[in-house]
Amino acid sequence: MVKTKKNTKVSAFECEKCGDIIYSRDTHDFHYCTCGDIAIDGGFDYVKVSYKTKMPKLVFKHISATKKELFNDWNNRINKFGVIHKKKES
């Protein structure tokens, strides 16, 4: 049995307002952070970021999924991946 690598590095952007970290899973996976201040598109082919106030911080994240799983998550509208929400402080 061949093990599949489940640790995909993605280019992501962190919203200064809401704290969400967003990344795109496929070429047409365009979406906003929770507050709508930043948006991302392009998947692994290119990175296009849009913003209302100022350029968000680029961060690299490792996601516990293969590229195929990320594509299927977007394509099948499962949406388990795509946004890393800021953890609520107690």
Q: What digits encode the pLDDT tens for the residues 4-56? A: 568 999 999 999 999 999 999 999 999 999 999 999 999 999 999 999 999 99
- 89 within a domain of the structure (yes/no): no
Give pLDDT, residue 89: 45
What would the pLDDT profile of 50-77 be if each residue is shown by its tens digit? 999 999 999 999 999 999 999 999 999 9
User: What is the model's pTM?
Assistant: 0.86
Instruction: Say how many domains are in the chain.
Output: 1
- 1 within a domain of the structure (yes/no): no
For residue 58, the surrounding DSSP H or E stretch is: strand 57-63
Helix (H, G, I), strand (E, B) or coil at 27: coil
Radius of gyration of the chain (CA): 13
- 58 within a domain of the structure (yes/no): yes
Note down the domain range covering 72: 10-84
